[in-house]
Structure formats: structure tokens, C-alpha cells
Amino acid sequence: MPTPSSSLDNLKGQPMFQILAACQNLEKAGKRILHFELGDPDFDTPELITETCIQSLKSGNTHYMPARGADDLIEAVRMTTGISRGFIPGKEQITITTGANSAIFYTLKSICDPLDEVLIPNPYFPSYLAAVEIAAIKPIFYGLSAENFFIPNFDNLESIISSRTKAILINSPSNPMGTVFSSETIGKLYDFAVKHDLYIISDEVYARMIYDYEVKFASASTLDSCKERTIVINGFSKAFAMTGWRVGVVIAPANVSAKITLLSESIVSCVPGFIQDAARAAILCPRATTKQMYSTYRRRQIEICSQLQSAGLVMNWLPQGAMYVFPNISKFSNNSEKFAMHLLNEAGIATVPGIYFGSKGESHLRLSCAGSDVDIADLGAYFYSALSSYNGD
């Protein structure tokens, strides 16, 4: 009997979906679950976007598309980038992908050879680690701490650089912490990349979701217009409640973009035209279309923090952006996986253990603000009940 490849034996996937499966089993058994595990908005995709998709389907836009992307969507990306980031990328710098996750993999594969190194934040979004493992790239982690407001320590970065380092990956606003890097921090990161001749892979999926009005979004792309070393990854899932649509964008130097496009063409051929029409409608829609959704996320972040404080957690960090809360649970446990499983099994509270985001995430939990207000209203009481029956590590 033949045996499958061992090359994927260490691949863990996205643990949030494994937690969701456990939740669904508990719900089938009659247990109520308070869902804070997935960053899947409880809002429907705005009607303007879905209607555009329906009309595109009815018009027959169901055939192959250019691998790089539809011309009108690429033009819309160019124009909106000009408005949001102050430069208009060339058409040859843009690739439309099947979501931001695939865009990260395509990017890493396009700039790195096997055993090259990429600097990855810790805590990190799990898909980063999966992408480097599949691409046979070596992850080198740079630690982020609450004491430093989850901002990179540049002395630490200098200490882990090597001749094999090819890129640094940054994420602002970040998942799971909700940190937004200032323009000063972005400038220092860019200078660091120039000094060591690195690419900057900038995950900007949450760029529209900043709630601290004293903080402005900053992108390394404004420093080189993505012509030299900056590669911007963006998507539509969270900003427009389009998690199931699977469409993303990469803006990169033209020679890198050509490789990303070729890789995408080889694997998926193209992104469906009707999906691209919907994506174009999304990025061109009035800001008012998504304003209520973003306001709701911010209100929920504040309410979740309040509920957790009432249950005994010390909340000294209010996220600046994104759609998560990342509380420190060390007062009660230093084993986030054990603690999260206790919350789920005893109180029906579904969270993601911080350890799933890397070693620096231990002693934390991630709670998503994408769930229902009803669940948030009961969070404090359920959490307090679970604490009373927790026997420690």
C-alpha cells in the first residue's frame, strides 16, 4: 500500500476551525456555546456587494479571467490605494488572489528559496507559520510583549538577523493583539529592512478597522510605493464581511508580482469574475456602508473588556484596531490551552488559547468581537462561573 507524503505531518492548519468543530459537537449534545473563537462577522455582506455579484452571474461572467485579475478591479485597487496610501501602483504590481492566506503563501514562495529565513512576529496569526512550513522556509521569531505595547524591539531584531534572512513580516493592525504601528515604528522597520536588504511583507487586512482616533494607519508601502521591497497583503473578508468569498490583493514590486501571478495561475487559474465584480463594488462602496459594522466591533471590544474585568481579569490593554481582545490570564493560569478547554467544557465559552498564536501568546486568550451581543452580555457571568470550578494548572 502506498503511503502519503510526510512533508505535511507537522502542518496544523488554523486551530480556530478545530475549536469550532468541538463547539458544534457540544451544541449537538444540547450545550449552549458562547462563540468568541472565529473572526467571522455576524453581519451579512452588504447588499450592494451581493447584488453586484448576482447581476454579474446573470450577465454570464462565469468564464476564465486573467490570472492577474480583472482590469476593472485592478484599476479600482490602484485608485483606492492612491486615496488611502498616497501612491498609485502600476497594473503590473497587482495580483488578485483567492484570499489573503493564499496571498501570503504565494508571496513567500515568490521571494524565498528553501531554507531562507523570514522574521515573523510572535504572537502571530497561525497561517504565517503554515505558509513558511509549506514553502520550506525557516521562521525566525521576533517577540512582541504587552510591556512594550506589542511593538517590535529593534535590538532584538538586530540580534536575530542572518545572511539567510530574506524578509520581515509585519501585521498592523494586528491579529490577535489589535496593535496599530505608528508611522515612526513603520519608518524604523523600513530603515531596518533597507539596512539588511530585506523585503517587508505587510499584512494590512485590518487597515480599515482602527478605532483609536489618536492613532493613524501607517504603511511601509508609502515609503517605496511597493516598487523596491514592500509587499502589501490585503483582503475583503473582515473589512466587508466577506469571509466566504475568498478574495485578496497583493501589491508588490513588478518582478515579484509576476511570480505571484504565475504561481496563482498555476494553482487556481484565476479568481472567478463574479467574485471580482463583487470585490470591486466593495472597495468602491461609500464608507457609510461599513461604518455601523466597525462601530459595533469597537463597542463589543469595550464590552468584552468590561465583562472580563467584572469576572476578575485585569484589562490594561484596549485594542487600537482589528476585531479581537487578547487578555492576559496569568492571574488564573499559565496554561492557556488547558484554561480555554475548561472555559469551553464547563461554561460553554469558546475562545482561542494564546499558545496557538506562538510562545509569546501563552498566558493569553483571544476573543473575537465578531459574535453576537447576546453572547457578550452573558460572558462575565459565565466566565466567573468557570473560574470558580477551575483547579489551576
Among residues 286, 319, 339, which one ends one of the domains? 286
Which domain covers residue 294, as residue numbers? 15-44+290-389
Q: For position 6, what pLDDT does the model report?
A: 86
CATH of the domain at 101: 3.40.640.10
Evaluate whether residue 7 is within a structural domain: no
The answer on 346 and 260 residing in a single domain is: no
Based on the fold, state whether residues 99 and 68 are members of the same structural domain: yes
Question: Mind listing the pLDDT tens digit for each residue in 273-288?
Answer: 999 999 999 999 988 8
Q: Domain count for the chain, please give it.
A: 2
Same domain, residue pair 267 and 327: no
pLDDT value, residue 77:
98
- For the entire predicted model, the pTM comes to 0.95
Is residue 20 over pLDDT 80?
yes
Average pLDDT over residues 1-23: 87
Find the CATH number of the domain harbouring 367.
Answer: 3.90.1150.10
Q: Are residues 265 and 143 in the same domain?
A: yes
Residues 236 and 340 in one domain: no
At which of 269, 286, 303 does a domain end?
286
- Are 318 and 183 in the same domain? no
Per-residue pLDDT tens digits for 138-161: 999 999 998 888 999 999 999 999
Mean pLDDT value across residues 355-377: 94
Q: How many angstroms separate the Cα of 112 from the Cα of each of 6, 168, 251, 260?
A: 22, 12, 17, 12
- Residue 213 clears pLDDT 80, i.e. is over it: no
Does residue 323 have a pLDDT over 80?
A: yes
More confident residue, 296 or 8: 296
Q: For residue 4, tell me if it sits in a domain.
A: no
pLDDT in tens, 171-211: 999 999 999 999 999 999 999 999 999 999 999 999 999 99
pLDDT score for 3: 86
pLDDT interval class at 214 (50, 70, 90): confident
Answer with the one of 286, 319, 354 that is the final residue of a domain: 286
Question: pLDDT confidence of 315, banded at 50, 70, 90?
Answer: confident
In the chain, % of residues over pLDDT 90: 84
Return the HEC string of the chain. CCCCCCCCCCCCCCHHHHHHHHHHHHHHCCCCCEECCCCCCCCCCCHHHHHHHHHHHHCCCCCCCCCCCCHHHHHHHHHHHHHHHCCCCCHHHEEEECCHHHHHHHHHHHHCCCCCEEEEEECCCHHHHHHHHHCCCEEEEEECCHHHCCCCCHHHHHHHCCCCEEEEEEECCCCCCCCCCCHHHHHHHHHHHHHCCCEEEEECCCCCCECCCCCCCCCCHHHHCCCCCEEEEEECCCCCCCCCCCCEEEECCHHHHHHHHHHHHHHHCCCCHHHHHHHHHHHHCCCHHHHHHHHHHHHHHHHHHHHHHHCCCCCCCCCCECCEECCECCCCCCCHHHHHHHHHHHHCEECEEHHHHCHHHCCEEEEECCCCHHHHHHHHHHHHHHHHCCCCC
Whether 344 is in a domain gets the answer: yes
| Residue 223 lies inside a defined structural domain of this protein | yes
Q: Is residue 8 over pLDDT 90?
A: no
Q: How confident is the model at residue 389 (pLDDT cuts 50, 70, 90)?
A: confident
Instruction: Say yes or no to pLDDT of 393 above 70.
Output: no
Sign of CA dihedral 282, 303, 101, 155: positive
The pLDDT of residue 392 is 74
If asked whether residues 149 and 224 sit together in one domain, one would say yes
What pLDDT is attached to residue 388?
86
Confidence of residue 313 (pLDDT cuts 50, 70, 90): confident
What are the backbone dihedrals phi and psi of residue 30, each rounded to the nearest 5 degrees, phi first? 100, 5
Please check whether residue 2 lies inside any domain of the structure: no
Residues 94 and 188 in one domain: yes
Q: Are residues 278 and 321 in the same domain?
A: no
Q: Is 3 part of any domain?
A: no
Which tens digit of pLDDT belongs to each residue from 63-111?
999 999 999 999 999 999 999 999 999 999 999 999 999 999 999 999 9
User: For residue 367, how many C-alpha atoms fall within 13 Å in the half-sphere facing its CB?
Assistant: 31
In a domain, 6, yes or no: no
pLDDT of the residue at 11: 83
Please give the mean pLDDT across all residues of the chain.
Answer: 94
